[in-house]
């Protein structure tokens, strides 16, 4: 090939494995165009590759000797690489980002040296042109019903802050902002070590505190309040006025109240005929509230309105169940597997109340994602219904269940505190178990008032506050079963 002159075409004729004719044109031994017939009247397609084997273009053509294809190939191969239309290496002059594309993959080499790749079909589904994405709502308009199952790229180039794209066989010119590609570099962001950053560390030391009056009107204090909840799953709000329903204000700083079968707010105070064991003096073992809902409440707020000095006992207890579950996986992997697989029954069936309730929900105690990371734990012994499992699973289930309870009661991470009037303890009900010691009222009153906020709305507000206060952070896994 070295003996060939400049711009000399070398044409090789051969057959592919289906017996269809192939013409391979090579220029100077460097550039190659392959024109391949489909066997139907010699219509076929042509692909052009650069000296590195990277595809520069792919087109359908009318015949194996299609002149325009050959001309395109010759033109592409004789022009400087960075100025060629349909080129696979395009420089963003402003930032020095580079594009490099093949039929199936667009690769961006960012100015900082990082390189990210995007699948051609993924790019089509994420097109930002006005036909595919509505400008103000950001909602997708793309007509997914009419799309083929896969796409190949036909061209890619940088224009301003966007990458302009064309896909083969689909008459569509799209565009995607470079900033979007940089933010959603899915090959990197789906890596397990990145999602591992969403795991919280076990709460060590004291429960952090914020002041009620600070969080009412100061955005930075609100951010600190939510940061504590993101990191530790628990935070104590001090100096909350002991006025009926003030707990709503502590909650509404974060999100609207999540109403439940107990109403907008509920009063944990001793009554004669309690509709819930909490409304008596008995001790309450570790649990989550309302696990018989598909989406149990996220944050729980318990505001202490009264706790008379004569009341003995009644301390609140807390424990991060995610860390207990991880401990179980390390120490007893087989038992851990049973609790990830066998569905427990959670229920609230109670007709003797103003509005009768009949709720039954079955799911395993521990939920894993595709990377075997824990995304949810469900624990509420007081509201468990009969186990409905395969006969062979019954004994292993109770054995694993018993082991988990033992790990909880032996844990050094348990927190105990006696709430004082004006305290409002806030915790993630999907991650931090709560309970209380039994108490004797001795003629006094222990009165907590509670409410809830949805977990996804908490998470949203935390991310919003991080962004608008300029404190970027990775939101921890909150127990809402999100896979990331
Ligand atoms: Fe509770
Ligand atoms: Zn589009």
**CA 144 to centroid of ligand 2, rounded, Å:** 11
Q: Are residues 201 and 185 in the same domain?
A: no
pLDDT digits (tens, 9 = 90+) for 301-311: 999 999 999 99
CA dist list (Å): 312 to 211, 251, 420:
27, 29, 13
The per-residue pLDDT for 63 is: 46
**Spatial distance between the Cα atoms of 139 and 171, rounded to a whole number of angstroms:** 22
Q: Are residues 103 and 163 in the same domain?
A: yes
> Which ligand is nearest the CA of 452, by number?
1
- Residue 343, sorted as left (phi over 0), alpha (psi -120 to 50) or beta, turns out to be beta
Q: Which three-class secondary structure state does DSSP give residue 196?
A: helix
Maximum CA extent, the chain: 107
**CA 287 to centroid of ligand 1, rounded, Å:** 6
> Which ligand is nearest the CA of 141, by number?
2
Q: Is residue 368 part of a domain?
A: yes
> Which ligand is nearest the CA of 383, by number?
1
**Spatial distance between the Cα atoms of 118 and 103, rounded to a whole number of angstroms:** 11
Q: Which H or E run includes 338? A: helix 333-341
Mean pLDDT confidence for 84-93: 47
**CA 130 to centroid of ligand 2, rounded, Å:** 7
The per-residue pLDDT for 276 is: 83
Q: Give the CATH number, domain containing residue 150.
A: 3.30.2020.30
Q: Are residues 219 and 253 in the same domain?
A: yes
Here the tokens at position 401 are 């269940």
> Which ligand is nearest the CA of 436, by number?
1
Domain final residue pick, 169, 189, 209? 189
**CA 234 to centroid of ligand 1, rounded, Å:** 15
**CA 381 to centroid of ligand 2, rounded, Å:** 52
CA dist list (Å): 98 to 86, 103, 281, 310, 480:
14, 17, 68, 73, 39
**CA 172 to centroid of ligand 2, rounded, Å:** 7
**CA 278 to centroid of ligand 1, rounded, Å:** 7
**CA 42 to centroid of ligand 2, rounded, Å:** 33
> Which ligand is nearest the CA of 382, by number?
1
Number of domains in the chain: 3
Q: Is the pLDDT of residue 87 over 60?
A: no
> Which ligand is nearest the CA of 164, by number?
2
**CA 123 to centroid of ligand 2, rounded, Å:** 10
**CA 390 to centroid of ligand 2, rounded, Å:** 50
Mean pLDDT confidence for 23-32: 51
Q: Are residues 306 and 265 in the same domain?
A: yes
> Which ligand is nearest the CA of 276, by number?
1
Q: Is residue 475 part of a domain?
A: no
> Which ligand is nearest the CA of 130, by number?
2
**CA 86 to centroid of ligand 1, rounded, Å:** 63
Domain final residue pick, 78, 107, 133? 78
**CA 240 to centroid of ligand 1, rounded, Å:** 21
Domain final residue pick, 189, 223, 247? 189
Q: Per this entry, what is the length of the chain?
A: 484
**CA 139 to centroid of ligand 2, rounded, Å:** 13
CA dist list (Å): 185 to 40, 114, 121, 391, 463:
41, 11, 14, 46, 19
State the CB neighbour count (10 A cutoff) for residue 267: 15
> Which ligand is nearest the CA of 167, by number?
2
List phi, psi (to 5°) of 49.
Answer: -120, 150
Q: Are residues 234 and 109 in the same domain?
A: no
Q: Which of 368, 379, 375 is nearest to 346 (CA)?
A: 379
State the CB neighbour count (10 A cutoff) for residue 362: 15
The per-residue pLDDT for 315 is: 96
> Which ligand is nearest the CA of 379, by number?
1
Q: Is residue 458 part of a domain?
A: yes
Q: Is the pLDDT of residue 128 over 60?
A: yes
Q: Are residues 170 and 218 in the same domain?
A: no
**CA 286 to centroid of ligand 1, rounded, Å:** 8
Q: Which H or E run includes 248? A: helix 246-252
Higher pLDDT, 443 or 275: 443
Q: Hey, which residues does 426 pair with through a beta bridge?
A: 235, 301
Q: Are residues 275 and 307 in the same domain?
A: yes
pLDDT digits (tens, 9 = 90+) for 430-484: 999 999 999 999 999 999 999 999 999 999 999 999 999 999 888 999 999 999 8
The per-residue pLDDT for 379 is: 98
Contact (CB, 8 A) for 56 and 50: yes
Please provide the distance, in angstroms rounded to a whole number, between the alpha carbons at the two ends of the chain.
Answer: 53
Higher pLDDT, 78 or 67: 67
Mean pLDDT confidence for 228-238: 97
Which residue pairs, CB below 8 angstroms and at least 24 apart, start in 126-134?
126/176, 126/180, 126/184, 127/165, 127/172, 127/174, 127/175, 127/176, 128/162, 128/174, 128/175, 128/176, 128/177, 128/180, 129/172, 129/173, 129/174, 129/175, 131/172, 132/174
Percent of the chain with pLDDT over 90: 66
The per-residue pLDDT for 194 is: 75
Higher pLDDT, 292 or 4: 292
The per-residue pLDDT for 384 is: 96
The per-residue pLDDT for 76 is: 45
**CA 96 to centroid of ligand 1, rounded, Å:** 56
The residue assigned the tokens 């066998």 is 342
Most confidently modeled of 58-62, 137-141, 414-418?
Answer: 414-418
**CA 276 to centroid of ligand 1, rounded, Å:** 9
**CA 127 to centroid of ligand 2, rounded, Å:** 5
Percent of the chain with pLDDT over 70: 80
Q: Is residue 4 part of a domain?
A: no
- Domain limits at 25? 9-78
Q: Are residues 224 and 269 in the same domain?
A: yes
Q: Are residues 277 and 408 in the same domain?
A: yes
Q: Are residues 161 and 272 in the same domain?
A: no
**CA 211 to centroid of ligand 1, rounded, Å:** 24
Q: Which three-class secondary structure state does DSSP give residue 187?
A: helix
User: Mean pLDDT in the chain?
Assistant: 85
> Which ligand is nearest the CA of 147, by number?
2
**CA 289 to centroid of ligand 1, rounded, Å:** 5
> Which ligand is nearest the CA of 162, by number?
2
pLDDT digits (tens, 9 = 90+) for 323-367: 999 999 999 999 999 999 999 999 999 999 899 999 999 999 999
**CA 285 to centroid of ligand 1, rounded, Å:** 9
List phi, psi (to 5°) of 121.
Answer: -70, -40
**Spatial distance between the Cα atoms of 345 and 394, rounded to a whole number of angstroms:** 13
> Which ligand is nearest the CA of 142, by number?
2
Contact (CB, 8 A) for 426 and 277: no
DSSP codes joined into one string, 87-141: -SEEEETTTTEEEEE-SSEEEEE-TTS-EEEEEHHHHHHT--STTTB-TTT--B-
pLDDT band at 46 (very low <50, low <70, confident <90, very high): low
Q: Which H or E run includes 345? A: strand 344-350
Q: Give the CATH number, domain containing residue 220.
A: 3.60.130.10
Q: Are residues 387 and 449 in the same domain?
A: yes
Pairing of strands 312-313, 439-440: antiparallel
Q: Hey, which residues does 159 pair with through a beta bridge?
A: 162
pLDDT digits (tens, 9 = 90+) for 237-257: 999 999 999 999 999 999 999
pLDDT digits (tens, 9 = 90+) for 32-41: 556 655 555 5
pLDDT digits (tens, 9 = 90+) for 371-406: 999 999 999 999 999 999 999 999 999 999 999 999
Q: Is residue 201 part of a domain?
A: yes
Which of these ranges, 60-69, 88-97, 116-125, 300-309, has the smallest mean pLDDT?
A: 60-69
**CA 447 to centroid of ligand 1, rounded, Å:** 14
Q: Are residues 253 and 269 in the same domain?
A: yes
Contact (CB, 8 A) for 360 and 347: yes
**Spatial distance between the Cα atoms of 247 and 228, rounded to a whole number of angstroms:** 18
């Amino acid at each position: 090939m070295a003996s060939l002159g400049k711009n000399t075409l070398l044409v090789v004729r051969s057959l592919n494995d289906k017996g269809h004719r192939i013409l391979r044109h090579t220029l100077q031994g460097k550039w190659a165009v392959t024109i391949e017939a489909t066997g139907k009247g010699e219509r076929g397609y042509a692909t052009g590759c650069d000296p590195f084997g990277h595809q520069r273009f792919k087109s359908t053509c009318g015949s194996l000797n299609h002149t325009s294809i050959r001309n395109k190939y010759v033109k592409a191969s004789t022009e400087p690489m960075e100025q060629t239309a349909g080129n696979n290496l395009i420089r963003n002059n402003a930032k020095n980002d580079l594009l490099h594309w093949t039929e199936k993959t667009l690769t961006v080499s960012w100015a900082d040296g990082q390189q990210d790749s995007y699948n051609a079909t993924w790019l089509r589904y994420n097109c930002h042109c006005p036909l595919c994405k509505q400008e103000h709502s950001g909602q997708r308009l793309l007509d997914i019903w009419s799309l083929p199952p896969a796409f190949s790229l036909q061209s890619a180039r940088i224009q301003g802050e966007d990458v302009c794209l064309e896909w083969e066989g689909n008459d569509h010119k799209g565009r995607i902002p470079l900033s979007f590609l940089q933010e959603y570099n899915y090959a990197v962001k789906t890596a397990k070590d990145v999602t591992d950053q969403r795991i919280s560390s076990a709460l060590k030391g004291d429960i952090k505190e914020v002041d009620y009056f600070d969080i009412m009107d100061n955005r930075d204090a609100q951010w600190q309040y939510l940061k504590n909840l993101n990191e530790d799953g628990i935070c104590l709000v001090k100096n909350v006025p002991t006025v009926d329903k003030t707990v709503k204000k502590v909650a509404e700083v974060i999100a609207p109240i999540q109403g439940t079968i107990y109403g907008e707010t509920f009063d944990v105070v001793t009554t004669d005929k309690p509709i819930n064991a909490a409304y008596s003096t008995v001790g309450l073992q570790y649990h989550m509230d309302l696990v018989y809902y598909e989406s149990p409440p996220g944050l729980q707020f318990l505001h202490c309105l009264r706790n008379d000095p004569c009341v003995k006992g009644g301390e609140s207890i807390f424990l991060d169940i995610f860390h207990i579950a991880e401990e179980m996986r390390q120490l007893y992997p087989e038992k851990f597997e049973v609790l990830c697989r066998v569905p427990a029954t959670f229920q609230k069936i109670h007709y003797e109340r103003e509005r009768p309730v009949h709720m039954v929900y079955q799911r395993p105690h521990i939920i894993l994602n595709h990377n075997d990371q824990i995304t949810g734990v469900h624990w509420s012994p007081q509201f468990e219904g009969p186990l409905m499992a395969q006969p062979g699973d019954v004994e292993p289930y109770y054995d694993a269940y018993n082991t988990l309870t033992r790990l909880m009661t032996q844990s050094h991470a348990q927190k105990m505190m006696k709430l004082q009037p004006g305290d409002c303890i806030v915790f993630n009900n999907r991650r931090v178990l709560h309970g209380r010691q039994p108490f004797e009222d001795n003629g006094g009153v222990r009165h907590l008032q509670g409410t809830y906020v949805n977990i996804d709305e908490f998470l949203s507000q935390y991310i919003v506050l991080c962004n608008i206060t300029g404190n970027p952070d990775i939101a921890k896994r909150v127990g809402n079963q999100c896979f990331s």
